[in-house]
Structure 1
């Protein structure tokens, strides 16, 4: 388990260890996943001791919902750096070991906003689209070497990150989210992703992504109209509440 902040990392290790099978071990590394210079030697030391892992789950990132006019270039750079490079760097660190073994499975966590855009997520959506593109590129090159790649598209998930996201969410964006999305538990999302990994799926669709992805691919205009209508509805609801 790799994360930047030691305290949540330790808590996660305890939770994982409690549900691990007999003989399994849990090891943690407090490191910024975007910092390849720090990450690479730490992973090399782990691999020298334990051997290379069979799976890499990249679940790095955050959302900063905000109206477009309130965003700066730095906001875009920060979100892309964390969400995209935070999954790319661990991949680059482990890829030589997967190649040497002739096997391995890379799982990148994108988002339902990794294939369709919604208002309020102008910094987040490009980073999640980028992960989809990265996963496509990795899959096309690595499949001949026996290395699998998957990309997961979860919807809103009831995590501390989602609670933090709600602190900056514009009112209409928050209303649209509550109108349209069913908040899933982390356990449900993790179980769906693991089922997709076990089945060898490239695109792992979770929750509403299971119907939104085919609609956005086959009928992109319809998907955009749905988003536009829901946002217009949310804007109207917010305006009505303000006028009461």
Structure 2
């Protein structure tokens, strides 16, 4: 199955949501793709192989690096070293801090942040092999608007995604001399199964505040912009004009930004009598 003349991509979280949509776009661009996820692999691979036979899938838990190393070795034996690694695996638990258990908080840190570390570390030997083959491979972390600015009701998620951006920033510097590129993508809320599940328990305050970052983007629209950003030279890819404006305001005029958020928050809390 290995075709050394083709480009190869590995996508974690590739069985649903952003990961699945990006995989479809990669296939359209003639990539061989290996997807990795903790569930839904068989169904996703069946769907994707209707688009191309050059797709394979592996079940894994990003919290378990030793298992990941074995799965990545299988993937490399199937399609070769990756030109592109996209880490889209992640979870969100939308609860206020006082309602969230330590286990729920730690689970988000372990999957979103530690999992990102594990993916990059387990893939590194294969990325270095790609460099030896004359390629310039790239690691892309899917972070979030919640890694750029804090959001009510997302203590665990924000903490993990702020960490992912910090991890990517350092890896960008450390891997530069090894000829491995790094990028981090920060979308606003995207209409995926993860978000659908989250809305069942999320706070109305959170939902109202999200509108400041551009609201919820359809997955097709978001992934079109994400995909273009992945193949740009930008390290940080911020999705959506409204989120880019909000992020710039929070950095250039942080006190003004926080005062505006506080005013909005006070009105929302009063509205819902919280």
TM-score by length of structure 2 reads 0.80
Please identify which structure carries the higher helix content. Answer: 1
Structure 1: 5+ residue runs without aligned partners?
none
Matches within 5 A, 1:41-80: 41-80=70-109
In structure 2, the CA distance between the partners of 1:200 and 1:15, relative to structure 1 (3 Å rule), is farther
SS of 1:108 mapped into structure 2: strand
Once the 2 structures are TM-superposed, how far is the Cα of residue 127 of structure 1 from its aligned partner?
Answer: 0.1
Matches within 5 A, 1:36-185: 36-102=65-131, 103-177=136-210, 181-185=214-218
Partner of 2:43: 11
Deviations 1:10-61 (A, max 9, x none): 33334444455xxx61110011122111110121122123211111110111
SS of 2:175 mapped into structure 1: helix
Once the 2 structures are TM-superposed, how far is the Cα of residue 178 of structure 1 from its aligned partner?
Answer: 5.2
Of residues 63, 78, 98, the one that matches 1:34 is 63
Once the 2 structures are TM-superposed, how far is the Cα of residue 101 of structure 1 from its aligned partner?
Answer: 2.7
Deviating more after overlay: 147-156 vs 223-232: 223-232
Moved over 4 A (4+): none
Partner of 1:205: 238
Q: Is the 8 A contact 2:95 2:202 kept in 1?
A: yes
Once the 2 structures are TM-superposed, how far is the Cα of residue 231 of structure 1 from its aligned partner?
Answer: 1.7
State yes or no: 1:25 paired with 2:54.
Answer: yes
* Distance (whole Å) between structure 1 residues aligned to residue 102 and residue 113 of structure 2: 16
Deviating more after overlay: 69-78 vs 37-46: 69-78
TM-score by length of structure 1 reads 0.89
Deviating more after overlay: 107-116 vs 184-193: 184-193
Q: How many residue pairs get matched?
A: 235
